[in-house]
Each structure stands twice: as structure tokens, then as C-alpha cells.
Amino acid sequence: MHLITLTTDFGTVDWFVGTMKGVLLGINPSARIVDLTHGVAAGDIRAGAFALTAGCRFFPKGTVHIAVVDPGVGSVREAIAVETERYFFVGPDNGVLSWALRNERIRTVRTLKNEKYFLPQISKTFHGRDIFAPVAAHLSRGMAIEKLGPSKKEFVRLDWPEPRAKGRSIEGEIVYIDGFGNAITNLGAEVLNVFGGRRLEVLVKGKRLCAIESCYAAVRARKAVGVIGSSGFLEIAVNGGSAAKNFGLIPGTRVSVVSPTGTYE
């Protein structure tokens, strides 16, 4: 199999994503292409990085992941391909790959310099089609990554907000708002285990918002609830509604979790 995924902010109302697939299949007719998402907010590198991180690990070994959220396209930012133990990653070197790479064992990072593996004509506005798609198609055919360009020691890393223990609470923040309006935090299930299974409450701006339950349906319709979501992080949801809209949550909003009945161990 030659599996390739796409994570972009191109949306689906135009032909942009379709032409990337035309380029991919022109170079590797056996490629299988999966849209991870094209709904990243335009230019929102952190949202793209989170989507890629949350989604990429469900794909089989050898998959080539393309991520293009690229507001600096055509300017000085570099383009890279990364080989890890499990996957390949291709995209601009602006941090969009960096959160996914935190979970991978990196073998090599290459700057995309060899124009032999690009389209013959390179636009200044659409490297997804002209550079990243052809490069990924060649990688998916088994081409050695070394051919793409020189090795690169460092790449741009977005800072990941680490949770912090503070007295009896753990402090974190919203990192992503999903299409249902669920607000996903940086607080992983393992972080919350420090409370030893006690009943936990979620506070936003110092105010109690909801308890952490096992599923959305554990609370009545239109009520707020905290759950460990499918990406392994605490998320704030409203059963049948949008937590983001109801409570004005956006990426960066501070969140804390406390156990009203116990102490931080």
C-alpha cells in the first residue's frame, strides 16, 4: 500500500485539494489518498499541527503525511520532509509538523531542494500542489528521502503548553475547538490520574463549569460536561450544543481541574 494523508487549510469549495490529488496520482498511480482534514482555519498553524497530531497515529506504518498550512508560501520559509520510525511527514518548516513529531522517533529531516522532484513549474502561491504533493508521491513509491535535499539539524518547533500543578489543581489551556464546539485542552488523561480517580471539576477563569464524566450523555441535554475525548485529552463539551459558543472558549483560554473532595497527590 502507498498511503498518503492530507491536512490543509485549503477548504473544499475550490479545486485546490483535487489538483494535489491529480499530481499525486500522476506520479504514483497506486497511491491511496485520505483527507485528514482541509478545514483548518486559514493560516492557523497551531490548529493544523494539532489536527495532524491527533489524526496521524491511526494510520498504518509507512504512511506519508502531508500538512500544508502555509501562510508564508513563496517567501523565505523552508520546506521539509521528515522520516520517522513509523511515518513520513512533508510540509513547510513553520511548525505545522512539529507537534506530531514530538510523538515520533525521527530518523532524518531533509530540506526540499532537489527540483527534480517538484512539478516543472513552481507557483509562488501553491506549494501544496507544486512541491509537497510531488515529493510525497515520490516518497510513497519508496524513493529514498536523501534524494530530496540536504540533511537539516533543526526545524521550527511550536511550543506545546505543558500542564502545571498548582496547589490542589492542575492548570492547562484550550488548544483546539472542534467542529461540534468541543474545547479540547492540553490536559491528558494521564495528567488527571494524579488525582487517583477522584471526582474532578473543571474551572474556567476561576469559575466552576462542569464535572468530568465518562461520556457526553452522562449529563442532560444542553448541560456542560468534561470528558476525556477521543484524542486522549480533556475536552469541555455541551451535550447537544457548542461549549465554545456557550462559554466563549478559544484556544489559549486557561482551564484548571480540581478535586473538590481531595488533595493533589
CB of residue 166 to a second copy, shortest distance in Å: 27
3-state secondary structure the chain: CCEEEEEECCCCCCCHHHHHHHHHHHHCCCCEEEEEECCCCCCCHHHHHHHHHHHHCCCCCCCEEEEECCCCCCCCCCEEEEEECCCEEEEECCCCCHHHHCCCCEEEEEECCCHHHCCCCCCCCCHHHHHHHHHHHHHHCCCCHHHHCCECCCCCCCCCCCCEEECCEEEEEEEEECCCCCEEEEEEHHHHHHHCCCCCEEEECCEEEEEECCCHHHCCCCCEEEEECCCCEEEEEECCECHHHHHCCCCCCEEEEECCCCCCC
CB of residue 85 to a second copy, shortest distance in Å: 16
CB of residue 32 to a second copy, shortest distance in Å: 7
**Nearer to a second copy among residue 59 and residue 155 (C-beta):** 59
CB of residue 245 to a second copy, shortest distance in Å: 13
| CA dist., res. 246 & res. 194, Å (int) | 29
**Nearer to a second copy among residue 84 and residue 168 (C-beta):** 84
**Nearer to a second copy among residue 100 and residue 171 (C-beta):** 100
CB of residue 58 to a second copy, shortest distance in Å: 4
**Nearer to a second copy among residue 17 and residue 90 (C-beta):** 17
What are the strands of the beta sheet with 3-8, ordered from one edge? 32-37, 3-8, 64-68, 88-92, 79-84, 106-111
**Nearer to a second copy among residue 55 and residue 172 (C-beta):** 55
**Nearer to a second copy among residue 177 and residue 209 (C-beta):** 177
Interacting residues toward a second copy by CB under 8 A: 1, 3, 5, 7, 10-19, 21-23, 25-26, 29, 32, 34-39, 42-43, 51-52, 54-55, 58-60, 63, 71-75, 123-126, 129-130, 178-180, 214-218, 227-230, 239-240
**Nearer to a second copy among residue 14 and residue 159 (C-beta):** 14
CB of residue 31 to a second copy, shortest distance in Å: 9
CB of residue 146 to a second copy, shortest distance in Å: 27
| CA dist., res. 45 & res. 33, Å (int) | 22
